[in-house]
Amino acid sequence: MTDKLRFEWVIGFRDMFDWTSNSHSGTFAAGSFGAPLAGTQAVANFNNQWFDTLTARIGYAVQPAWLLYFQGGAAWGHTSANVTYAGVQYGQTSQTRTGWTLGGGAEWMFAPHWSAFLEGNYMDFGSTSGSVTGAGGVVYPVSAKATETTVLLGVNYRWW
């Protein structure tokens, strides 16, 4: 009879850097923006060019082939926003922000050295506030909250 060393808990660290083109646009009444034409729309554009996460992971081997894990840590992201009306840009911001991330997933070893995983992560980069100067020099307060959600599906090959 042979005793096998069995590890049920898994602890690790990961850094993930991702270039992205996530963007979202919204319209609002230009009259509230100080525009001369009532009933027209202004556009706010929000973009996330990249994000980086540094996480600690803890997992548990439910069966020899399955691993369930939770992870959390720090996140950094570069975001930008701008407001336009009638083709004229009234304001913009671009900055690298620091935040936090939480996530979890499952990994399945389907063959020797091979595994597949499904993982979800939520990142929060906080809120920012500022102001935009509209027509006639009127200053309008603007605030935005930057978050990101990712779902990863992948395959791993282990060399050892």
pLDDT tens, residue order, the chain (160 aa):
555 656 689 999 999 999 988 888 888 776 655 555 555 677 888 888 899 999 999 999 988 899 999 999 999 999 888 888 777 887 788 889 999 999 999 999 999 999 999 999 999 999 877 776 666 777 777 777 888 999 999 999 988 8
Domain parsing of the chain, residue ranges: 9-157
Phi, psi torsion values for 113, nearest 5 degrees: 75, -10
Instruction: With beta carbons less than 8 A apart as the criterion, state whether 123 and 147 touch.
Output: yes
Q: Which CATH architecture has domain 9-157?
A: Beta Barrel (2.40)
User: Is 0.85 surpassed by the pTM of this model?
Assistant: no
Answer positive or negative: Cα dihedral of 8, 9, 13, 18. positive
